[in-house]
Structure 1
Amino acid sequence: MAFQIPRGTQDILPGEVEKWQFIENTARELCNKFQYKEVRTPIFEHTELFARGVGESTDIVQKEMYTFQDRKGRSITLRPEGTASTVRAFVEKKLFANAIQPTKLYYIGPMFRYERPQTGRFRQFVQFGVEAIGSNDPAIDAEVIALAMTLYQSVGLKKLKLIINSLGDGDSRTNHREALIAHFQPRINEFCSDCQNRLTQNPLRILDCKKDRDHELLETAPKILDYLNEDSKLYFEKVQEYLTNIGISFEVDASLVRGLDYYNHTAFEIMSDSEGFGAITTLCGGGRYNGLVEDVGGPETPGIGFALSIERLIAALEAEGVQLPLSTGVDCYLVSMGEKAKDKTVTLLHELRMAGLRAEKDYEDKKMKAQFKSADRHNARFVAVLGDEELVQNVIAIKDMETGSQENVSLEKLVSYLKERL
């Protein structure tokens, strides 16, 4: 029986995985500069965490989660996003008691959602996200947005658009919610069943509906910016001021809402402006979630974060034709002629690797010409040739594959010779 990979998943093989490693390393280095520390949470959690943390009315909870019962009948869900798990860890491990606040965390790992696979979207996907928990300062909002933008720019993307909005505080959202209900209720039967349920659960989600996005009432729906109280207005103005001061361009879009229930105040998305990217242009989304920590059993603690899909980032790189500066090939390929020389290359190979060099040799008893071809396939910078005669003389011939020059060096100086030239 021939097995095939499940739909919506992917094998990332050598030749492609190097892109992932480069992006993930870039993200880790960037988080180190911004002083965000890595957190690793379980791939599965109790279902109630996501129902409460993500929101009962969201498509994720209602339609997209991989949920099952374990052997003791407990409902378990493969994590569909990273924020709820990170906040759960923050509460459970009492990180709010640490002397250094806010608590600044990041994660990189697989998430799972049952949705229709398409370009850059998979049922198992890798998400990079950051969470800054414990500050109400609008400067931390600007910092989180800046981190996301800097990552995209660091890997070479240029055609980016940052969209921001404010969802306001609790009072602002309550007033806006009532206005939305009054706006949609008379004609709610014209909307999909999901939106009809959202009318009382979370009418803001109607604005984010994919099925009814062309309905005329969405165009005339009350805008949250018209319902912001004075504190919310000042907060949003300060976020914009900080973004402007650090040189990050943005557009304010009053129709922007995020797909998760826990957002308030600042909400943002980063989109690809590349023509070849496709219809769904969002690369990254995030925002402030004051109240989420309390929802999962913690003390009153504000927070803000974002998450992005590595798959969609790679799709954006391909759409813009960006070539990542990947380090491929080996520093030295060892070619041997004769049994004693072949045995010696085993020791030499280990010495090169322990010295920090990328090295390889033949393991198929190929002829010398075939070994050189193998060195070419490995994109070797240098080829070191050792025969039984050279072994007796305690020397090895090193060929520079870029210049074609060749010279003999003593076996003891092989490592230092290569390091000097690399």
Structure 2
Amino acid sequence: MSDYLSVSSLTRYLKLKFDRDPYLERVYLTGQVSNFRKRPAHQYFSLKDDKAVIQATMWASQFKKLGFDLEEGMQLNVIGRVQLYEPGGSYSIIIEKAEPDGLGALAVQFEQLKKKLTAAGYFAAEHKQSLPQFVKKIGVVTSPSGAVIRDIITTVSRRFPGVEILLFPTKVQGEGASQDVARNIALANERSDLDLLIVGRGGGSIEDLWAFNEEVVVEAIFASHLPVISSVGHETDTTLADFAADRRAATPTAAAELATPVTKADLLTRLSEHKNRAYQAVSRQIRQKQERLGKLAHSVVFRQPERLYDRQTQQLDRLTAAMTAAVQQQYRVSLQAERLLNQRLRSLGLTEKISRYQEQIMQLNRLLMSKANSLYEAKAARLEKAQSALLSLDTKRIVARGYALIHKDEKLIVSTKTVKKGDRLQAELRDGQLEVEVKDVK
């Protein structure tokens, strides 16, 4: 039995081999992410190729520095050390550094954040603001020592002297740069004297420009009520700030040109042209009006104004005569009709008939009054008789004379047939009620 090892002894021996092997102390490994599910702290997943699988572990401190989101199926290049886990008898690689295979971590992070912000609507065309045609004051968020601000000042001064430029000194690279950019964009939006905002910096690597790919900068540009021109890097460089801005300029000079789309010289020339065209148009109108006034002043109408209404006067006379004749004709017709009606009325003898009918009405009224009085007296006598009968039937009067009303279950007893021995009855008297029990029915 002394030749046999325990499982723990063998595993411990293998672990020592793993720990002391210099080739396993720092391993460069490439593989595809498998079985990944993001956990709150440490991350556990697998790396595989077409022939083998190895378990992988990334501690929370390293995972926070990753800079991009791990995804299932992503091809990774990792650096780490291989260790054996004694209780489970399994080995795994502890990842210290990782980056996507073929692309840098920042490039992957750029694409992931771009996809996220696009879905959230930060780059949508309907949110873009139009740039003002004329500006009085331009805000610039950039480094005070770079060439960006000098190019912008030179271009604006050349194109439109008199336009003010307000610099917001900003850290544009390194730790804290993105927060500084966002803070100065918000600060510029608090002012009421700015018409436009230019955000930019010079060229550099993706690491140098990374502050303008941070979500906090994109959110600040999106929230800006001032139109924003982004000028970050060279013409071939593109940042998320460029997508969020209202306009993107390839260079600071181009940004200054976009901010002043019309030069002062062009504006003065255009104003002069408009002035000349307006002067010529007004002069032409005046000449035309003067010519027309001269023609009218020498016309027959102004020399003999009564000729303006000769035809209307004649037409008025004709209409007046026609109206007078029509009224007279209508009057004669109406007068003749009245005479005919009077003759017909006299032939009908209406006056005698009206007198006769009035006499009949008077007789009928007298007869009606006589009949009504007789009917009223008969109805009054009948009513009085009915009232007396009702009073004689009043139960209260009957009870008052010494009688009693007997009830059973609130119903008046009128016959012994509805009562039996043992029934409880109520006797209503003049001054109260008695509760009685039937001893016998005869």
Q: TM-score under structure 1 normalisation?
A: 0.16
Higher relative contact order (CA 8 A, sep 6+): 1
Q: TM-score under structure 2 normalisation?
A: 0.16
